[in-house]
A and B are shown apart, each in its own frame.
Chain A
Amino acid sequence: MTSLDIFLWIVFPYISMTIFVLGHIYRYNKDQFGWTAKSSQFLEQKRLRFGSTVFHWGIIFVFLGHVGGLLIPKLWFDTIGITDEYYHFGAIWFGGLAGLAVVVGGFFLFLRRVSVKRVVKNSSPSDYVALIMLGIVVLVGFTNTAGYTASGGTFDYRVVIGPWVRELLTFQPSQAMVASMAQAPIGFQLHVTLAFVLFAIWPFTRLVHVFSLPLKYLNRNYVVYRNAKPYGTPKTKTKYDVSSK
């Protein structure tokens, strides 16, 4: 195990995750105003329609696939009777399809961003960085699924990358897993490392809107009232009451 291995598979991921967490906390506290999805639909929507819809739905399923593949131990799948064959069939076809949606949708969004004048003029450097970085990670990941696993690659990320990620997240990195990460095919190594680069820039781009998915809306009263002087309640250091209708 070289020091480069330790850096790539322990030090750098932790640096990235630290930036990810602290960056979000910092930005949330300091830049509520900038924390938006930065929608450009108002300026151009014909070309946004396909790209945005396909990309976003694709990436939701890609995310769920990663949760299933990395955070849920292989043992769990084995126990409920999902064999390796079944799992890989699902991973390749559903994962591949979702990945394809992300690649195609993302490509349309990229073309739109660089060719529609109104959108180009209204894009910040961070928009390009986020889009390109995300694109590279996705392309490498998709190549792994479509070009390696689907064409008979034998590397099982569920026994290497999965446990390694879980060890990282539980702050128990082991030499054994670092060593096997160092042996993983280059495509997977690249995908993982680039993903951690993406996580490190994430809090400083528009990608923060992922954490603003407004699920609260589902069980909220339609009309929101805010009260400058809550009737009958003493002055307290609370935020606005969002009282019911």
Chain B
Amino acid sequence: MKIKAQFGMVMNLDKCIGCHTCSVTCGNTWTNRPGTEYMYWNNVETKPGMGYPKRWEDNDERKGGWQVKNGKLELKAGGKASKLLNIFYNKDLVQIDDYYEPWTYDYEHLINSPEKEHQPVARPVSQLTGEYMDITWGPNWEDDLAGVHETGKQDPNMRNLDEQIKFEFEETFMMYLPRICEHCQNPSCVSSCPSGAMYKREEDGIVLVDQDTCRSWRFCMTGCPYKKVYFNWKTHKAEKCTFCFPRIETGQPTICSETCVGRLRYIGIVLYDADKVLEAASVPDEKDLYEAQLGTFLDPYDPEIQKEALKQGIPADWIEAAQKSPVYKMAVEQRIALPLHPEYRTMPMVWYVPPLSPFMNAMGGQVNTLDPNVIFPTINQFRIPIDYLASLFTAGDSDVIRKVLQKLVAMRTYMRYKELNKEFDRSILTEAGMTEETAEEMYQLSAIAKYEDRYVIPKSHREDAGDMHLRQGTAGFDFMEACRSCMGGSPQDADPLSYYESGFWRELDENAPKGF
């Protein structure tokens, strides 16, 4: 048994209001540099919709993740030799237009324009070419179902639906899906990188790109089925969500979580057996992947596991954090959080509590009964089709979704009766596989959701780290500029595209301690 600790996140989709605050704060923190304008390491998609980039979930075309071929787990885009043979042209690469062509506006014109008959306007200017452009696609083009009658049919999740969903006003549905890098247990991006520049941190599972070692081979972008490895077209290097490791290491939640208005994000660690990962990712039936992944997680309360973890160098405070971990609680104990697209076989570590939705019933009004035979069937009439959720979270297994939704409904019903001091018939809890204690615990964690319950983040033991100086530049973005204009220093360049000319990088990289 090889015990590893792994950070994970749970997002409670019931609470997401689609405000994009997470995307904005992430962008301000990490991707406000030339070459990264188009990147949203954290983005919020309205589902149904094509997504960002377009049709990222159409894996027959995008070729991300793993597949089982002749009983063996292999990268879907091709193995090592095939990658090297195709290194001059990656035929499966996503194009920047699939995300969107980044633009700014010609704001100067508002001020400089001579007097004319009409008010001057700020026309959009492409950040790739510096020329005026017409905007025909953007990062949130489908926000709140905008244009869904056109694009919704191209949502790859729709093809799994039995009934033909019509995108008509009365029948349509929607939900928000915030997405960050999944920091997978079995990362296919890391496995696709020929240079060995991408790596998974042994001590906490965070997946990073070594900016000094990246050689621009761009297979990671194809390898990631979530399309969460981006290409900085200015530096020609891959970049991705860092799980805000500088914050995490000091016990603070990621910036997307910290600023989440709906407080729907949870961060914690799980202990897992790394020796079981390959086997779990290789199970033949896609629908077994969810259970197989749960099977790799270790019980942090088990004294044997604790002893072995300590022996293998997991710090005691991390084991304690694993016990309090909201991720472990919601994914393993309560079983209300599910992995996103487990069929990609990367064993993702950002899990989702599927959203409830109003049911489209004939009864009208509230269902004011405790009879499970009346309440639970309403789940099948939820506006968001069960099969759609199953396509997102369980590789199409709608029974799992139904069970999770049952729990969410049972917990709410129980709490309503409790608050009203009414007689409660426990059969609805029993049917959902819960007790009063578990319902209460679920309520505390998902409804009260105290800060210290949502974020159980053990600090990293940097005091034990090896020579940090040698590792400069290998973990992230130390080349990022400080605010150049606000320090009273040099004036900002008129043309943002000129930032990187004339040996700019070389100068910044003077200190990189690399041996030959």
Indicate whether A and B interact: yes
> Using a CB–CB distance below 8 Å, which chain A residues touch chain B?
25, 28-43, 45, 48-49, 52-53, 55-57, 117-118, 121-122, 124, 209, 212-218, 220, 222-232, 235-240, 242-243, 245
B218 within 8 A of A: yes
Give the chain A neighbours of B467 by CB distance below 8 A.
Answer: 235-237
Q: Is the CB of B196 within 8 A of A48?
A: no
Q: Which residues in chain B, 249-279, are within 8 Å of chain A measured between CB atoms?
A: 274, 277-278
B96, B196, B203, B462: the one contacting A242 at CB < 8 Å is: B196
Q: Which residues of B contact A235 (CB under 8 A)?
A: 466-467
Q: B190-230 CB contact bits vs A (8 Å, 1 = yes)?
A: 11011110111111000000011111111001000000000
Q: How far is the CA of A56 from the CA of B465 in the complex (A)?
A: 43
B471→A30 contact, CB < 8 A: no
Known A-B contacts A218-B81, A225-B202, A245-B278; A31 and B89 likewise in contact (beta carbons under 8 Å)? no
Chosen A-B contacts, 18 in total, with CB atoms closer than 8 Å, are: A31-B509, A31-B512, A33-B473, A33-B505, A41-B89, A42-B93, A56-B88, A121-B128, A124-B501, A213-B84, A222-B75, A228-B202, A229-B203, A229-B313, A230-B466, A231-B313, A232-B313, A237-B467
In contact, A45 and B131 (Cβ under 8 angstroms): no
Asked if A121 and B96 sit within 8 Å, CB to CB, the answer is no
Q: Is the CB of B216 within 8 A of A43?
A: no
> A214 is contacted by which of B129, B191, B194, B501 (Cβ under 8 Å)?
B194
Which residues does chain B contribute within 8 Å of A34, judged by CB atoms? 505-506, 509
Across the interface, do B512 and A57 meet the contact criterion of CB distance under 8 Å?
Answer: no
How far is it, in angstroms, between the C-alpha of A228 and the C-alpha of B446 when the chains are bound? 34
B93 lies within 8 A of A45 (CB): yes
Given contacts A30-B506, A35-B215, whether A224 and B190 have CB atoms under 8 Å apart is: yes
What residues on A are CB-neighbors of B460 within 8 Å?
Answer: 228
Shortest beta-carbon distance from B348 to chain A in Å: 14
- Inter-subunit contact A42/B233 (CB<8 Å): yes
Which of A25, A35, A229 has most chain B Cβ within 10 Å?
A229
CA distance A236 to B462 in the complex (A): 15
Q: Which residues of A contact B470 (CB under 8 A)?
A: 237-239
Task: Verify A222–B191 contact, CB threshold 8 A.
Answer: yes
Chain B residues proximal to chain A, CB less than 8 Å: 75, 80-81, 83-84, 87-91, 93-96, 128-131, 186-187, 190-191, 193-196, 198-203, 211-218, 221, 231, 233-237, 274, 277-278, 312-313, 460-462, 464-467, 470-471, 473-474, 479, 497, 501, 505-506, 508-510, 512, 514-516
Partner of A30, one of B235, B278, B512: B512
B217 touches A33 (CB 8 A): no
Contacts of B501 in A (CB 8 A): 124
Q: Do A209 and B466 touch across chains, with their CB atoms under 8 A apart?
A: no
- B195→A212 contact, CB < 8 A: yes
- Least CB distance from A5 to B in Å reads 35
Q: Do B196 and A227 touch across chains, with their CB atoms under 8 A apart?
A: no
Closest A residue by C-beta to B201: A226
Identity of the chain A residue whose Cβ is nearest the Cβ of B312 in the assembled complex: A231
* Nearest CB of chain B from residue A235's CB, rounded to whole Å: 5
Q: Which residues of A contact B131 (CB under 8 A)?
A: 117
Chain B residues with CB under 8 Å of A48's CB are 89
Docked complex Cα distance between A35 and B89 (Å):
19
Q: In the complex, which residues of chain B have a beta carbon less than 8 angstroms from the beta carbon of A229?
A: 203, 313, 461, 464-466
Chain A neighbourhood of B96, CB < 8 A = 42-43
With a cutoff of 8 Å between Cβ atoms, the chain B residues found around residue A240 in the complex are 199, 471, 474
Among A33, A43, A53, A214, contact of B233 (Cβ-Cβ < 8 Å): A43
Not counting A122-B234, A124-B501, A225-B201, a sample of 4 additional A-B residue pairs whose C-beta atoms are within 8 angstroms of each other reads A37-B215, A43-B128, A229-B464, A240-B199
Q: Which residues of B contact A43 (CB under 8 A)?
A: 95-96, 128, 233
The chain A residue with its CB closest to the CB of B74 is A222
Residue among B201, B216, B312 making CB contact with A209, cutoff 8 Å: B216
Given contacts A32-B212, A45-B93, A217-B80, contact A57 B88 (CB under 8 A): yes
Closest Cβ–Cβ distance, residue B278 to chain A (whole Å) = 7
CB distance from A13 to the nearest CB of B (A): 24
